[in-house]
Amino acid sequence: MIATPRKAVALVSGGLDSMLAVKVVQEQGVHVEGINFFTGFCVEGHTHAIRKKDRKKPKRNNALWVAEQLGIKLHIIDIVEEYKEVVFNPKYGYGANLNPCLDCKIFMVKKAKEWMEAHGFDFIITGEVVGQRPKSQRRDTLPVVQRDSGIGDRLLRPLCAKNLPPTLPEREGWVDRERLYDFSGRTRKPQIALARRFGIEDYAQPAGGCCFLTDAQYSAKLQDLWSARGAKEYEMDDIMLLKVGRHIRPAPEFKLIVSREEGEGNFLQGYRYRYPSLKTVSHAGPLALIDGTVDEAGLELAARIVARYSQGKSAPEVELEFRDAEGASRTLKVAPLPPHELKREWML
Amino acid sequence: MTREVLDCRRLLCPMPVIRVQDRVAGLQPGDELEVVCTDPGVLQDIPAWCRINGHRVTEMREARGEYILRLRVGEAE
């Protein structure tokens, strides 16, 4: 009798480690499918989609690309709403910025466990390597992921399994522990060597990880959003807009999101039905959204700032169209703000 | 056979892919789905998702800054 192959669901980020983890387990005859979680903070693709100058590079979703290379199905799961609790109240705190890495990993493994049980899969695999990351992939935090997610010993980390106690798939003989690996630490050399052995030459190596929350500037803008609103909250549009344009807060009540080039201008154009906006008319210039509330004085200041980024920045007067979120518009004529009046502390 | 239209305008990838994935889950093999998007990333991502999952992109076109893809749902395994 031929035994039915065991089934594993892999957390696929689109990076090299999860790709290798899948390959190692696939080699042992296990049926693998991938799962990829979309938090809203994923770096994947967005900046390419928004900024025109980046469009020369071919854009691809690395998780989909990896799945295709591996010949596995990929299930992309929208966790934007549920993920907010992880961002607002991480039990294990934030990393260097607003990145709740350990809570994030626990949450994702927990969601993958739910998927595994709903679809009749046997275990989960991840590309984690002991010692690879300062918070979520330490010898003392790897067991925390297993415990708090509830997955226990149905979580296999093929790249560092030999450094860890045998898991259920190993004890049951679903996978051969001897054909797993003992990688550790921050070095990438063993992964690169293993990739070469598998004939994998093309893979993504995101410099700052795959999450905007690890980015200092992005985290500062998110913190500003929370401060301005007096509460930790965000909607999908908020966190998307934090990825676009210059963010300038000249007053506590409002900030400006000013496009830096045509691609961003086109992107912000799609939000004019939700936010009041300013667009230079007499000179080529940016489109700016106003997030918050402005009185007449605030509006004039906002217009002067936007004019400062137009081709009329040296002109005595620049004409702009102010349009409210309902679509009513009027014209403003202002003197562009001189550079020395644009305060550094306004720039987020 | 049904033919449906899915509006994914203003959504950034991978949201259009997720919407397609969720809609296709409720369709039958041979059904057609037309997806209207504004993120050019879909020109790569939706075909990739289709190839992985056994569906077929039968048409891709651009009109006034919108990207329209027509898919035919494949056989479920």
Phi/psi region, residue A162 (left: phi>0; alpha: psi -120 to 50; beta: rest), is alpha
Nearest CA in chain A to B77: A73
Report the amino acid identity of residue A313. K
Scan residues 89-128 of A and list those with Cβ closer than 8 Å to B: none
Is A227 within the bounds of a domain?
Answer: no
Residue showing tokens 């920045």: A313
Number of structural domains in chain B: 1
- Locus of tokens 């913190």: A223
| ipTM value > 0.90 | yes
Question: Domain ends where: A189, A212, A235?
Answer: A212
Cβ of residue A38 closer than 8 Å to a chain B Cβ? yes
Tracing tokens 């893979």 back to the chain, one arrives at: A203
- A248 with A205, same domain: the answer is no
Looking at the 3D structure of chain A, how many domains does it have? 2
DSSP, residue by residue, B9-64: TTPPTTHHHHHHHHHHTTS-TT-EEEEEES-TTHHHHHHHHHHHHT-EEEEEEEET
Query: In this complex, do A60 and B21 lie within 8 Å of one another by their Cβ atoms?
Result: no
Question: What residues in A contact B65, CB-CB < 8 Å?
Answer: 266
Residues of B in contact with A62 (CB under 8 A): none
Q: What is the pLDDT of residue A46?
A: 58
A121-138 in b/e form (b: 16+ CB < 10 A) is bbbbbbbbbbbbbebbbe
Question: What CATH number is given to the structural domain containing A183?
Answer: 3.40.50.620
Asked if the structure places residue B71 within a domain, the reply is: no
Query: Does A58 reach chain B within 8 Å, measured CB to CB?
Result: yes
Residues of chain A with pLDDT under 50: 207
Q: Which of A164, A194, A212 is the last residue of a domain?
A: A212
List the catalytic residues of B. 13
Q: Kindly state the tokens that stand for A272.
A: 């004019």
**What is the token pair recorded at A254?**
């409002």
Dump the DSSP string for A53-76.
GGGGSPP--HHHHHHHHHT--EEE
Q: Do A107 and A155 belong together in one domain?
A: yes
The per-residue pLDDT for A48 is: 56
Span B2-61, pLDDT tens digits = 889 999 998 888 999 999 999 999 999 999 999 999 888 899 999 999 999 999 999 999
- A270–B51: do the CB atoms touch at under 8 Å? no
Beta strand ranges found along chain A (DSSP E): 7-11, 31-38, 74-78, 123-125, 155-156, 246-251, 254-258, 277-280, 287-292, 318-323, 329-334
Contacts of A60 in chain B (CB under 8 A): 44-45, 48
**Is residue A232 one of the residues assigned to a domain?**
no
In a domain, A330, yes or no: yes
Q: State the Cα–Cα distance between residues A341 and A133, nearest whole angstrom.
A: 43
| CB within 8 Å: A78 and B15 | yes
| Residue A226, in any domain of the structure | no
Q: Does A44 contact B38 at a Cβ distance shorter than 8 Å?
A: no
pLDDT at residue number A209:
62
Chain B residues with CB-CB distance to A67 below 8 A: 52
**Containing domain of residue B11, as a range?**
3-65
Q: How many CB pairs under 8 A join A and B?
A: 66
Of A68, A76, A240, the CB nearest to B17: A76
Residues of B within an 8 Å Cβ radius of A? 10, 12-15, 17-18, 21, 38-41, 44-45, 48-49, 51-53, 65
From A163, A197, A212, give the residue that closes a domain: A212
Q: Give the Cα separation of A157 and A142 in Å (integer).
A: 10
Whether residues A18 and A132 share a domain: the answer is yes
The whole-number pLDDT of residue A57 equals: 61
For residue B48, the chain A residues in CB contact (below 8 A) are 60-61, 64-65, 68
Q: Summarize pLDDT for A32-84 with one digit per residue, the tens.
A: 999 999 999 887 655 555 666 555 565 678 899 999 999 999 999 999 999 99
Tell if the CB–CB gap between A44 and B39 is shorter than 8 Å.
no
Q: Are residues A167 and A249 in the same domain?
A: no
B76 within some domain? no
CB contact under 8 A, B48 and A76: no
Q: Are B24 and B17 in contact (CB under 8 A)?
A: no
- Domain with A91, as residue range(s), is 7-212
Both A39 and A180 in one domain: the answer is yes
Same domain, A260 and A203: no
Q: With b meaning 16 or more CB within 10 Å and e meaning fewer, what string describes A187-205? A: eeebbeebbeeeebeebbe
**Within this chain, do residues A187 and A46 fall inside the same structural domain, yes or no?**
yes
pLDDT of residue A2: 62
pTM to 2 decimals? 0.89
Q: What does DSSP say about strands B56-63 and A74-78: parallel, antiparallel, or unpaired?
A: unpaired
- Residue A140 within any structural domain of the chain: yes
A26/B25 Cα distance (integer angstroms): 26
B18: nearest CB among A46, A72, A78: A78
| CATH, residue B51 | 3.30.110.40
**A129, amino acid identity:** V
Using the Cα atoms of residue A319, residue A320, residue A321 and residue A323 in order, give the sign of their dihedral: negative
The reported pLDDT for the residue numbered A43 is 74
